[in-house]
């Protein structure tokens, strides 16, 4: 399961997690689109509806104890159903998160990955939307 994830895929994966955390399914779809992994036959309205349903399912408990890996895999299952081609590296990363959560749960059943990644997500958002970063030209 050892693989390297490009900076671009890492950026997109982090975006999906951040958008999931804040409940922005439109932004998840936009991330899929910017990754150029959506099939031309993808019904975006149905994809959004299914992602919204998933978001509602986890809305109350997302920040508490839910499995990040399980939720991400559910997003990818929905995406696959809608002909969104999730890169293998990101699928593997999701499986690694599931395994990690299993180990952590045995060591500390009260530990929440979602709570643990929150400070890093905030730092990532500040860095990503810093005025200097926004002024960079590709």
The rounded distance, in Å, linking the Cα atoms of 116 and 17 is 13
Task: Report pLDDT for 29.
Answer: 94
* Residue the block writes with tokens 């929440």: 112
State the pLDDT confidence band at 134, using cuts at 50, 70 and 90: low
Please give the residue that has the higher pLDDT: either 32 or 120.
Answer: 32
pLDDT, tens digit, 9 for 90 and up, residues 9-45: 888 888 888 888 788 999 999 999 999 999 888 999 9
Helices vs. strands in the chain: H and E counts, helices first: 7, 0
Question: How many C-alpha atoms does 17 have within 13 Å on its Cβ side?
Answer: 27
Neighbour tally for 5: CB within 10 Å = 15
State the pLDDT confidence band at 2, using cuts at 50, 70 and 90: low
Task: Report pLDDT for 26.
Answer: 94
pLDDT, tens digit, 9 for 90 and up, residues 43-91: 999 999 999 998 888 776 555 556 778 888 888 899 999 999 988 888 8
pTM, rounded to two decimals: 0.76
Closest CA to 118 of 126, 130, 107: 126
Domain extents for the chain?
Answer: 7-135
């Amino acid at each position: 399961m050892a693989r390297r994830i490009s900076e671009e895929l890492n950026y997109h994966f982090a975006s999906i997690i951040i958008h999931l955390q804040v409940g922005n399914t439109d932004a998840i779809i936009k991330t899929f689109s910017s990754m150029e992994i959506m099939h031309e036959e993808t019904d975006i309205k149905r994809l959004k509806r299914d992602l919204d349903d998933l978001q509602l399912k986890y809305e109350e408990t997302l920040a508490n104890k839910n499995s990040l890996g399980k939720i991400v895999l559910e997003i990818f299952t929905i995406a696959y159903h809608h002909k969104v081609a999730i890169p293998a590296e990101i699928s593997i990363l999701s499986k690694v998160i599931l395994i990690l959560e299993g180990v952590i749960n045995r060591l500390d059943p009260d530990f929440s990955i979602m709570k643990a990644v929150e400070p890093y997500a905030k730092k990532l958002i500040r860095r990503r939307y810093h005025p200097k970063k926004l002024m960079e030209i590709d």
